Structure 1
Amino acid sequence: MTTEPTAPAAARTLAVPGATLHYQVEGRGPVLLLAQSGEGDADRTVDLVPHLADTFTVVTYDRRGLSRSVLDDPAAPVTMADHADDVARLLAEVTDEPALMAGFSMGAAIGLQVAARHPGALDTLIAHEPVAPNLLPAGERAEHTGELLHIQKVHAEGGMAAAFPAIARHLGIDPAHDPAEDGLTPQPMTPRRLANFGFFIATEFTAVTTDGFGPAEIARTAATAGATRIVPATGETTRPTVHTYRCALALAELLGTEPVVLPGGHNGNTAFPRATARTLKAVLGVDRYRP
C-alpha cells in the first residue's frame, strides 16, 4: 500500500453529491483515515495525528453537515449511506489502493457501511465501539435506540445544557473527572462545536435509528473473498453496560474474533492519543509498511 508523499497538514475540499467536504492530510505512507465520533470534526484528533503521521498518510475530515463540510441544502436529511459514500469518494481522491480506517463510535458505524457498500475501498477497519443498535439482540437494540431518541427529546426541549448529561450517561463518560494524558490541546465548547453537537443529535441520531444496516450485511461482507479486515475494538475503561461497548462485543461475536482493547474509555482516542497511536500501529502491523 503506497501513496504519494504529502505536505504536512494540507487542508483540502472535495465536492460530493449534496455537500462539500473539508479534509486534512498529514504524513506519508499508507493512507489511514480517522473517522471521528460524535460532534468531532477533522480537528478532534489533533493530538493523535502527529503520533501516526510518521508511519501513515493520516486523513481526517469533517462529516457532511459538521464545521467546514457544508450541505448544499441544510434542511436535507443525512443518511448513513451518504456518510459511507462520502468516505469512499474521499479515499478515492487520496489513494488508488485499499486504505486503512480507524473509526470511533459514529465513525466506526460509518466504516462498517463503507466495508459493505464499497468493496475494495478498505484494507482494514478498526471499529471502536460503533453506535450501531442493529448489532444488538432485540431487547438491547430497543434500549440503545430508546436512549438515542431520549437524548433527541431532551435536546429538543432543553438544548445542549440538558443533552450533555444525557449523552455522558449514555456513553459512561465523565468529562470533568475521566483521566487523560498530559499536555493535550484544549477542546473548548466553541459555538462551532455546539452547532456540531446539535447537528449530531438532531440529524445524525435519526440516520442511525432509522437505518436498516445490520448483522446480515456485515456477515455477507466478511464472507466475501478479499473483504475488508474488520477489527472490533472496545475501550479499556468503558463500562460493559454501555451500549456502544456491547455493540463492539456483538460485532466481535458475529465475526468470530476477540475485540482489541484501546486505551481509555469511549473517548480514549482523544484522552490518550499517544497510547492510542501505539495500539493502532500494533493492530495495523506497522512492519507491513516499512520500506
Structure 2
Amino acid sequence: MITPTTTTTAAATVRPLAVPGATLHFQTQGSGPVLLLSQSGEGDADRTVDLVPLLADAFTVVTYDRRGLSRSTLDSPTQPVTMADHADDVARLLAEVTDEPALMAGFSMGAAIGLQAAVRHPGLLSILIAHEPVMPGLLPEAERAEHAGELTAIQTAYAAGGLAAALPAITAHLGIDAAHDATEENLTPQPLTPRRQANFRFFIETEFTALTTDPAGTAEPVRAAALAGTRIIAATGRTTRPTVHTHRCARALAARLGTETVEFPGGHNGNTAFPRATAQLLKKLLLAR
C-alpha cells in the first residue's frame, strides 16, 4: 500500500502521485533539466537502476511504475488501461516536477507512451528519444497487421501456458537472445521475482490490448506532434535485426519525420545491457540541444 508521503534515500526521492483511476509511484534523482525515463515491457521504476546514477550528474532523472505495475495501484483493477491513460499519466507526472518542457527517453512500450504523450499534450516535451517503439500503427498496413498479430499470438501463448510459454515468443518477437547477447560488466541482477511475473501478466494481458487497439497510434498524429515543437529522435539498437518489428517501427517513424534513426548500443534492451554506453549517448543527444 502506498501512503501519501515523500521519502528520501541516499539515492533517490520517492513519491506517490494520485491521478484519475490510479496512484503512481515515481522516483527522482539528481539535478538539472528534467529527464523522464519510460521503461520497456514489464519494467518499473527500478528497471534502469544501473543507468539512472550515470545520468543524475546532468539531469533530474524521473522514473516511475506505469499504472498497474508494481507499486502504481489501480483504483479499479478490472478497468481497461489505455494508451491515452498512460500518456496523460506522463503529463501529470511531469507537471509535478517541472513547469518547463521536459526531456524524455522511452524504450519499447515506453517509447510508444512518449509518442502518445507528445501527440496528446503539445509542448509537454522538448525532446523525445523513441527507442524501438512497440507501435503497430507506425507501419504500413501489411506490416502493421503482422506486428499486431505477433502481440496477439503472445497473449494466446500466455493464456495457454503462462509466462513459460509467452517468454520465448516475446524474446523472438524482439530479437532477444539472453543466453548469448553481450552486456557490460557488473550489472545489477534482474531476477524474475513474483513482482516481475505479475508485471508481465499485466503487460501481456492488458497493455498489449491497449497497443493493438489504440486509435491514435499512427504516424500522422506523431508527425503533427513533431511539427508542434517536440523534437522526436527515432532510435534503434545496434544489434537488433532489421526484420524485428520494433526496429521497423523506429525506421518508419524516422522516415515519416524526414530524419535518420540514431543507433544505440546493444539490442532492444540495450539501455539495461549497456547502461554506461547508453548514458554517454543520451548525454550527447540531450545536452547538445
Matched residue, 1:285? 287
The structural deviation recorded for 1:257 is: 0.3
Q: 1:106 aligns with which of 106, 109, 129?
A: 109
State the TM-score, normalized to the length of structure 2: 0.95
Letter of the aligned partner of 2:212 in structure 1? T
Q: 1:274 aligns with which of 256, 262, 276?
A: 276
Is residue 125 from structure 1 mapped to residue 128 from structure 2 by the alignment? yes
Cα distance in 2 between the residues matched to 1:130 and 1:240: 14
Is residue 223 from structure 1 mapped to residue 219 from structure 2 by the alignment? no
Cα pair 1:103 1:111 within 8 Å, conserved: yes
Letter of the aligned partner of 1:239 in structure 2? R
1:5-44 alignment to 2 at 5 Å?
Answer: 8-44=11-47
Cα deviation, 1:102-133, whole Å, max 9, x if unaligned, reads 00000000000111101111110000000000
Matched residue, 2:238? 236
The structural deviation recorded for 1:281 is: 0.6
Tell me the matched-pair count: 280
Cα deviation, 1:196-251, whole Å, max 9, x if unaligned, reads 00100000000000001211211222223xx1110000000000000000000000
Cα distance in 1 between the residues matched to 2:219 and 2:10: 40
Cα distance in 2 between the residues matched to 1:168 and 1:136: 20
Cα distance in 1 between the residues matched to 2:105 and 2:12: 18
Cα pair 1:120 1:228 within 8 Å, conserved: yes
Cα deviation, 1:7-26, whole Å, max 9, x if unaligned, reads 74111000000000000000
* 5+ residue gaps, structure 1: 1-5
Cα pair 1:136 1:246 within 8 Å, conserved: yes
Letter of the aligned partner of 1:44 in structure 2? R
Cα deviation, 1:15-61, whole Å, max 9, x if unaligned, reads 00000000000000000000000000000000000110000000000
Matched residue, 1:65? 68
Off by >4 Å, runs of 4+ in structure 1: none
Cα distance in 2 between the residues matched to 1:80 and 1:278: 30
Cα distance in 2 between the residues matched to 1:7 and 1:25: 11
Cα pair 1:7 1:26 within 8 Å, conserved: no
State the TM-score, normalized to the length of structure 1: 0.95
Letter of the aligned partner of 2:148 in structure 1? T
The percentage of counterpart residues that share the same residue type is 74
The structural deviation recorded for 1:180 is: 0.3
Cα distance in 1 between the residues matched to 2:172 and 2:264: 20
Cα pair 1:38 1:200 within 8 Å, conserved: yes
Cα distance in 2 between the residues matched to 1:42 and 1:114: 18
Q: Per the alignment, in what secondary structure is the counterpart of residue 11 of structure 1?
A: strand
